[in-house]
Each structure stands twice: as C-alpha cells, then as structure tokens.
A and B are shown apart, each in its own frame.
Chain A
Amino acid sequence: GENVEQHPSTLSVQEGDSAVIKCTYSDSASNYFPWYKQELGKRPQLIIDIRSNVGEKKDQRIAVTLNKTAKHFSLHITETQPEDSAVYFCAASSHYIIQGAQKLVFGQGTRLTINP
C-alpha cells in the first residue's frame, strides 16, 4: 500500500521568511496530493491540493510542487505570518478505481512555528 513520509517534523521560521515542507510517497499510481492545516484542537482543513497531471499550483502565499518521477511533493509558504503556525499534513491518494473516491494516506505532520 501507499506510504507517505513527511519532513521535517518541526519547523521554526521568522515571520516574513519562507517555509518549505516536503513529502515523499511510494505508490506511483497515486494521483491526488492534498495538504491540510490543523490548528491546535481544531479539525484538519484543506489548504491546497494538486493532481498528478500538474507540476505546480499556487494560491496567494502558498504553493505546492509535484515531482512525479522522484515521487515527492512540497508545500511552500511565503511571507509567513503568525497565523500560519499550525501542524501541516500532506497526503497521497490510492484511488478507489471502482468506488471512485480518494483513499488518503497521511504523512506524520509538520509542526510549523512562526516566530514574531
């Protein structure tokens, strides 16, 4: 089955600097890669996702890149702000071909701290 590795487990950056979180996956058939942000005591919330037919996607200060050959994808946050502090999870999907939904396998999470 799919296995997702996420690095680093903790990341501390100065406000205004960029943060990069990296994930690798094992199943070359995976085709959907979402990123979730989870604040303390809250639910995971989707912040951006990318599909295997796209190499990069941007949404304001966040971007995700995908390298299918190397089987890794990364989250980039620019101009970080204190409210970016949270745990970020990457995920990769093993698509249920028949049933039509994405079976997500999550990375272990990265605790991002933005220092003022």
Chain B
Amino acid sequence: DARVTQTPRHKVTEMGQEVTMRCQPILGHNTVFWYRQTMMQGLELLAYFRNRAPLDDSGMPKDRFSAEMPDATLATLKIQPSEPRDSAVYFCASGLVLLAGGPSSTDTQYFGPGTRLTVL
C-alpha cells in the first residue's frame, strides 16, 4: 500500500531557527502539494509542483518560506527564520495528473502523515 511519507513527524524549535520539512511522494506521482493546517485557518494550500516544477506558490509567505523539489522522490518546505505563528501541521499530498487524461490520471490527492511544527 503505497503512501506519502513525511519527515520529521514532530519538530519543536525556537523562534528564528531554520526548519526543513521533507516529503516523499508516492512513487510515480507527478504532482506534489504542500498544505498547512491550523485551528483558525483550516487547511490552506501553500505550494503546488507538477513534474518537479513549481506552478503555484501564491499561498506561501515568500519572505520566509521556500519550497523545492530537487528530484522526483523528494519535496522540501523550508522556513527561515521561523516564527511562533508558523506553528501548525504541515501536510504534503501527491497525485498523478496526466494532461492527456486516461485511466491512470486522477484528481485524488493522497496526504502524508504531516509534520507537527511548534515554534517557541
């Protein structure tokens, strides 16, 4: 049963420190999404990659957040410097979208277990 994996599962850090979260999408998937979940804001889309290219990061604070996909098996979300308001659960999701359609193409997004970030 293929699943999206994320590391670390929990991270506690102090304000001002750099935080890097990692995501391994399901093998063969070509889309990766980063979401942030808080009680107040719910689930918010931060960034979207397709075939490793960043196509939408309009939901991400540009001054401190950055998202990359160095290869097809790894996506990273970095916060530098971190602030207490960044405390949240960060989810990665992956999917397979083929512009030509077909039975393998799907709109379903499969979520990872999340990284619970606490910034003190």
Q: Do A and B bind each other?
A: yes
Q: Which of B97, B109, B110, B114 contacts A100 (CB 8 A)?
A: B97
Residue of A nearest to B41 (CB): A108
Q: How many interface residues does chain B have, given as a range?
A: 20 to 34
The count of A-to-B residue pairs whose CB atoms sit within 8 angstroms is 57
Known contacts A99-B50, A101-B50, A101-B95; is A43 also within 8 Å of B114 by CB? Answer: yes
A96 touches B42 (CB 8 A): no
B113 smallest CB distance to A (angstroms): 5
Q: In the docked arrangement, what's the CA distance between A23 and B41, Å?
A: 17
Complex contacts, B48 vs chain A, CB 8 Å: 96, 99, 101, 103
Q: Which of B91, B97, B110 contacts A101 (CB 8 A)?
A: B97
Partner-B contacts on A (CB < 8 A): 32, 34, 36, 42-46, 49, 89, 93, 96, 99-109
Q: Show 28 A/B contacts (Cβ-Cβ < 8 Å), sorted by A.
A: A32-B107, A34-B109, A36-B111, A43-B91, A43-B111, A43-B113, A43-B114, A44-B43, A44-B91, A44-B111, A49-B107, A89-B42, A89-B43, A93-B107, A99-B50, A99-B55, A99-B56, A99-B97, A100-B98, A100-B99, A101-B95, A101-B107, A102-B107, A106-B42, A107-B42, A108-B42, A109-B42, A109-B43
